[in-house]
């Protein structure tokens, strides 16, 4: 028997891919080497367009507990410089402060609801490809076995066995000149002013909460995230003096003394934990030389690793999976147009390159030294300009992406992430995000006589066809054809549009053999 897809790794990206494949009608199996879900504290939240993407699958509500749509964040940081996002008319940065273990749990629950088989304690050990399938060798709890699958996706993290077994190089840099420490701990309560959003450190001054704060000697942050034990973080440059010694609150206190130049008493966290006491030396910035080797694909950290500064990892990785999922399912179900699978890499590699670029730029901006201080002064001036803030916000959110849809002189929305239009249908007022929960292609026809929907009726089994009236009297488009990943494949601005020919070309290009 040949399976549809085997995914190596039940981290957030492997599970999200499994959900996308299932929604599109394929049957993935997820292999996870750990016997049970990891509780390792990693991401503290999601930053950027991914938050709105999760809303388009109904997952934002599960993660945030709110029925309201995601809201733009009033501010954020770039390289420990404040970004005043409230000045933007079109602010693409949404934040979802949910820890990675919870994100993984919600995605696993959703995958199981959709019928995905997750095999814990099953490690991908090796793989071999022929013309028809991939043969994976798996080390399971009852010994080694083989499994045949049409496609295999490595979502197995930065040390990806999948990537190594395919001989895909992972070029980039490894830096060993930084030491970052993070603990769950409480500074004196009297120092914290939640209303002002500040930590007032005697002898040093006022430090904004949550934001990275650079000094000439390092970086400090205090983040009292809701419903969690607060996080205290430092970053210093140079060799770690503490070597192999287990990390401790006392070591953190010494680090803060070096970075801020004052003493900060730290009380241990409450509850049973697990609590964070982490020291990390150095870091990697690497991009796989290819994201695909014939029947094998890489997503998430298996394809790219970079500094965690600004929290872009899951914005990138989860959107890799939403890009790949529907394409791979179409190939498995036999209706993918030629070359569709190749667009995974052509579309996602430039996005990964931009994340590598901006995390390296941010790392440079937080380093110590007078030249960096001068650079920061210049950046601070530039960040008073709305256009600069917009550009950086778009970069961090991943909202500056425009995929090539192969349409010359296209409508400005073509290739872009579709805005969350509010429309009135026969059944009531809905947001576009609510219409995309099926993860299917969607034609949203706001034209006067709905002739576009009629023209696509032969494709009704492939494309969701929705006629509606715009809520906004001047909507950005009169009709939109969306790919399942939320990007606009075709759009028209004419309310009386009857140009069904270009629409049909777009449908054939993306959705039908
Ligand atoms: C300290 C830190 C802080 C971070 N903060 C943020 C943040 O705030 N926001 C953000 O968006 N990102 C953040 N990131 C990045 C984010 O954690 C990663 O991008 C994310 O974990 C990548 O998910 P993944 O599913 O690709 O890989 P992983 O999470 O690494 O999951 C891979 C899974 O594959 C399994 N596996 C490995 N090998 C095999 C095998 N051979 N067979 C079967 N299973 C295997 C592993 O056990 C694991 O469960 C942070 C990272 C770090 C280290």
* Residue 240 pLDDT exceeds 70: no
Q: How many residues are present in the chain?
A: 513
The ligand 1 atom nearest the CA atom of 160: 38
Alpha helices in 84-149 (DSSP H): 100-113
Q: What's phi and psi for 261, nearest 5 deg?
A: 80, 10
Q: Is 150 helix (H, G, I), strand (E, B) or coil?
A: strand
Q: Is 32 in the pocket of ligand 1 (CB under 6 A)?
A: yes
Which H, E and C letters describe 341-352, residue by residue?
CHHHHHHHHHHH
d(CA 406, CA 496): 24
User: Which protein residue has the closest C-alpha to ligand 1 atom 50?
Assistant: 43
Alpha helices in 56-171 (DSSP H): 59-64, 100-113, 161-165
The ligand 1 atom nearest the CA atom of 34: 47
Ligand 1 centroid, distance to 433 Cα (angstroms):
27
* Residue 258 pLDDT exceeds 90: yes
d(CA 176, CA 237): 9
Ligand 1 centroid, distance to 466 Cα (angstroms):
37
Ligand 1 centroid, distance to 283 Cα (angstroms):
14
User: Which protein residue has the closest C-alpha to ligand 1 atom 27?
Assistant: 157
User: Which protein residue has the closest C-alpha to ligand 1 atom 53?
Assistant: 42
Reported as a single tens digit per residue, the pLDDT across 341-367 is 999 999 999 999 999 999 999 999 999
Q: Is 445 in the pocket of ligand 1 (CB under 6 A)?
A: no
Q: Which residues contact 475 (CB under 8 A, 6 or more apart)?
A: 421, 446
**Would you place residue 128 in the very low, low, confident or very high pLDDT band (cuts 50, 70, 90)?**
very high
Reported as a single tens digit per residue, the pLDDT across 409-446 is 889 999 999 999 999 999 999 999 999 999 999 999 99
Q: So what's the pLDDT on residue 43?
A: 92
Q: For residue 101, which of 36, 42, 54, 170 has the smallest C-alpha distance?
A: 42
For residues 24 and 407, which has the higher predicted lDDT (pLDDT)? 24
Q: Is 355 in the pocket of ligand 1 (CB under 6 A)?
A: no
Reported as a single tens digit per residue, the pLDDT across 151-198 is 999 999 999 999 999 999 999 999 989 999 999 999 999 999 999 999
The ligand 1 atom nearest the CA atom of 50: 11
Cis status of the peptide bond prior to 274, with omega within 30 of 0: yes
Ligand 1 centroid, distance to 280 Cα (angstroms):
15
d(CA 469, CA 454): 16
User: Which protein residue has the closest C-alpha to ligand 1 atom 38?
Assistant: 156
Q: Is 465 in the pocket of ligand 1 (CB under 6 A)?
A: no
Q: So what's the pLDDT on residue 226?
A: 84
**Would you place residue 499 in the very low, low, confident or very high pLDDT band (cuts 50, 70, 90)?**
confident
Dihedral sign, CA of 275, 259, 226, 109?
Answer: negative
Ligand 1 centroid, distance to 35 Cα (angstroms):
16
Q: So what's the pLDDT on residue 250?
A: 95
Query: Do 442 and 463 meet the contact criterion of CB atoms below 8 Å apart?
Result: yes
Alpha helices in 197-248 (DSSP H): none
The ligand 1 atom nearest the CA atom of 161: 41
Q: Return the number of other C-beta atoms located less than 10 Å from residue 404's C-beta.
A: 11
Q: So what's the pLDDT on residue 242?
A: 62
Q: So what's the pLDDT on residue 496?
A: 78
* Residue 382 pLDDT exceeds 90: yes
Instruction: Over range 128-140, report the average pLDDT.
Output: 97
d(CA 39, CA 276): 11
Q: Output the CA–CA distances (angstroms, integers) from residue 174 to 285, 317, 433, in the order listed.
A: 6, 20, 40
d(CA 408, CA 58): 34
How high does pLDDT run on average in the chain?
A: 95
Ligand 1 centroid, distance to 96 Cα (angstroms):
17
* Residue 241 pLDDT exceeds 70: no
d(CA 344, CA 347): 5
Q: So what's the pLDDT on residue 278?
A: 93
User: Which protein residue has the closest C-alpha to ligand 1 atom 35?
Assistant: 9
Query: By percentage, how much of the chain surpasses pLDDT 70?
Result: 99
* Residue 61 pLDDT exceeds 80: yes
Ligand 1 centroid, distance to 38 Cα (angstroms):
10
Q: Which long-range contacts (CB under 8 A, 24 or more apart) does 107-115 make?
A: 107/12, 107/15, 107/16, 107/19, 107/59, 108/10, 108/15, 108/37, 110/15, 110/19, 110/59, 110/62, 111/15, 111/18, 111/19, 111/22, 111/30, 114/18, 114/19, 114/22, 114/23, 115/22, 115/27
d(CA 92, CA 171): 31
Lowest mean pLDDT among 70-74, 307-311, 393-397, 491-495: 491-495
Q: Is 13 in the pocket of ligand 1 (CB under 6 A)?
A: yes
Q: Is the pTM of this model over 0.75?
A: yes
Q: For residue 445, which of 418, 394, 480, 421 has the smallest C-alpha distance?
A: 480
Query: Do 272 and 288 meet the contact criterion of CB atoms below 8 Å apart?
Result: no
Identify which of 8, 29, 42, 304 to mutate to test ligand 1's pocket (most ligand atoms within 8 A of the CB). Answer: 42
Q: Is 138 in the pocket of ligand 1 (CB under 6 A)?
A: no
Q: Is 9 in the pocket of ligand 1 (CB under 6 A)?
A: yes
Burial class of residue 328, CB neighbours in 10 A (0-12, 13-18, 19+):
buried
The ligand 1 atom nearest the CA atom of 162: 41
Reported as a single tens digit per residue, the pLDDT across 215-224 is 999 999 999 9
Q: Is 313 in the pocket of ligand 1 (CB under 6 A)?
A: yes
d(CA 494, CA 462): 25
User: Which protein residue has the closest C-alpha to ligand 1 atom 18?
Assistant: 313
Ligand 1 centroid, distance to 210 Cα (angstroms):
22
Ligand 1 centroid, distance to 260 Cα (angstroms):
31
* Residue 273 pLDDT exceeds 80: no
Query: Do 131 and 124 meet the contact criterion of CB atoms below 8 Å apart?
Result: no
Q: Output the CA–CA distances (angstroms, integers) from residue 249 to 54, 184, 218, 253, 449, in the order listed.
A: 36, 9, 18, 6, 68
Instruction: Over range 364-393, report the average pLDDT.
Output: 96
Ligand 1 centroid, distance to 217 Cα (angstroms):
30
Q: Is 11 in the pocket of ligand 1 (CB under 6 A)?
A: yes
User: Which protein residue has the closest C-alpha to ligand 1 atom 15?
Assistant: 313
């Amino acid at each position: 028997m040949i399976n549809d897809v085997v995914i190596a790794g039940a981290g957030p990206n492997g599970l999200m891919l499994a959900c996308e494949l299932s929604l599109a009608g394929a049957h993935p199996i997820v292999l996870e080497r750990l016997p049970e879900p990891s509780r390792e504290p990693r991401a503290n939240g999601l930053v950027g367009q991914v938050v709105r993407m999760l809303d388009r699958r109904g997952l934002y509500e599960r993660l945030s507990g709110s029925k309201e749509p995601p809201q733009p964040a009033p501010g954020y940081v770039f390289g420990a410089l404040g970004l005043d996002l409230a000045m933007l008319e079109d602010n693409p940065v949404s934040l979802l402060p949910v820890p990675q273990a919870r994100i993984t749990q919600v995605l696993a629950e959703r995958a199981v609801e959709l019928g995905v088989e997750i095999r814990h304690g099953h490690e991908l050990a090796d793989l071999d490809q022929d013309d028809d399938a991939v043969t994976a060798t798996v080390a399971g709890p009852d010994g080694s076995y083989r499994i045949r699958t049409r496609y295999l996706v490595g979502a197995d993290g930065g040390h990806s066995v999948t990537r190594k077994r395919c001989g895909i190089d992972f070029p980039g840099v490894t830096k060993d000149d930084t030491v970052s420490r993070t603990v769950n701990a409480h500074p004196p309560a009297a120092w914290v002013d939640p209303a002002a959003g500040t930590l007032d450190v005697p002898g040093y001054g006022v430090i904004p909460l949550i934001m990275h704060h650079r000094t000439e000697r390092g970086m400090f942050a205090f983040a009292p995230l809701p419903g969690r034990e607060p996080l205290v973080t430092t970053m210093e440059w140079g060799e770690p003096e503490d070597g192999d010694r287990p990390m401790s609150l006392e070591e953190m206190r010494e680090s803060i003394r070096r970075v801020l130049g004052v003493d900060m008493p730290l009380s241990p966290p409450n509850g049973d934990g697990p609590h964070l006491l982490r020291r990390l030396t150095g870091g990697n910035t690497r991009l796989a030389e290819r994201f695909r080797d014939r029947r094998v694909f890489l997503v998430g950290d298996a394809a790219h690793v970079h500094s965690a500064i600004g929290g872009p990892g899951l914005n990138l990785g989860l959107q890799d999976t939403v890009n790949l999922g529907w394409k791979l399912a179409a190939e498995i179900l036999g209706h993918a147009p030629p070359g569709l699978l190749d667009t995974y890499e052509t579309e996602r590699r430039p996005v990964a390159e931009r994340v590598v670029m901006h995390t390296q730029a941010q790392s440079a901006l937080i380093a110590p030294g007078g030249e960096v201080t001068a650079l920061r002064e210049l950046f601070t001036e530039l960040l008073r300009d709305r256009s600069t803030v917009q550009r950086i916000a778009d970069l961090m959110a991943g909202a500056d992406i425009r995929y090539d849809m192969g349409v010359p002189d296209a409508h400005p929305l073509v290739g872009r992430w579709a805005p969350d239009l509010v429309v009135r249908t026969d059944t009531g007022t809905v947001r576009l995000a609510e219409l995309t929960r099926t993860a299917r292609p969607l034609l949203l026809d706001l034209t006067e006589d709905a002739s576009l929907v009629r023209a696509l009726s032969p494709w009704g089994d492939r494309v969701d066809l929705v006629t509606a009236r715009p809520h906004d009297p001047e909507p950005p488009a009169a009709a939109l054809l969306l790919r399942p990943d939320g990007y606009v494949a075709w759009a028209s601005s004419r309310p009386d549009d009857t140009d069904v020919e270009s629409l049909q070309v777009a449908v054939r290009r993306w959705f039908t053999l």
